[in-house]
Amino acid sequence: MSVAQVADLLSALPWDDRIGPAWSLLPAEQADRVRRLLGTSEATARSLVSQEYVAMPGHTTAAEALARLRSSAPSHKVVTYIYIVTEPEGVLVGVVDLRRLVLAGEATTLNDLMVAPPVVADSEMVKEDVVDLFAKYHFQRLPVIDAMDHVIGVIDYKDIMR
C-alpha cells in the first residue's frame, strides 16, 4: 500500500486504534510519513509518493525498453509511463507514454518518443496543488521531483483523489 492509502485507511479508525498496534506494523519511515499526513491538511507531494515507477535512460531503444519491461515483470499498475532520466545523475528529462512505446519502431529511442519537459509536481507542493495538476492535465500518474530535478517517486491519480 502507498503512504496515502495507509493514511486513508487509518483516518477511518478511532484515534486510539491509530496510535496502537497499527504503527508497529509499518516501517519507521513510512509510519512517520503517515503521521504527517494524518496530522495536517497541508500534506506535501513528498509525503504522497510511491516508489513504484519505471525509469530508463533516453538512449534506450523501444525494443530494449520493451524487453526490460517484460523481463522485470513490474506490476501492471506501474507501467503507465516510462520516465526518462539522465545517467548517472538520474535527472528527469522527459516521459514516454506506454502506448507510444508499444507503437514505435524497434530502433526508435526513448529520446525520440519522449515528451519534454514533463509535467511534474515539486516535492514541497501541497496536496491541493497536486490535485489541481491532475485535474488540469488528466494524467494517471505524476512524477515528483526534488530541487535538483531528480525523481523521488510518483503520485497515482487514484491515491490522491481519495
How does pLDDT run along the chain (162 residues), one tens digit per residue?
676 677 666 666 655 554 566 667 778 777 777 776 666 556 788 888 988 899 999 999 999 999 999 888 666 667 889 999 999 888 999 999 999 999 999 999 999 999 999 999 999 998 889 999 999 999 999 999 999 999 999 999 988 876
Q: Indicate if 17 and 96 belong to the same structural domain.
A: no
pTM over 0.85: no
CA 157, CA 154: separation in Å to the nearest integer? 10
Check if the beta carbon of residue 134 is closer than 8 Å to that of residue 125.
no
Residue 93, domain extent: 54-160
Q: What are phi and psi of 124, to 5 degrees?
A: -95, 5
Q: How far is CA 140 from the centre of its chain?
A: 10
The total number of structural domains in the chain stands at: 2
Q: Indicate if 79 and 120 belong to the same structural domain.
A: yes
| Selection from 18, 47, 42 nearest residue 159 by Cα | 47
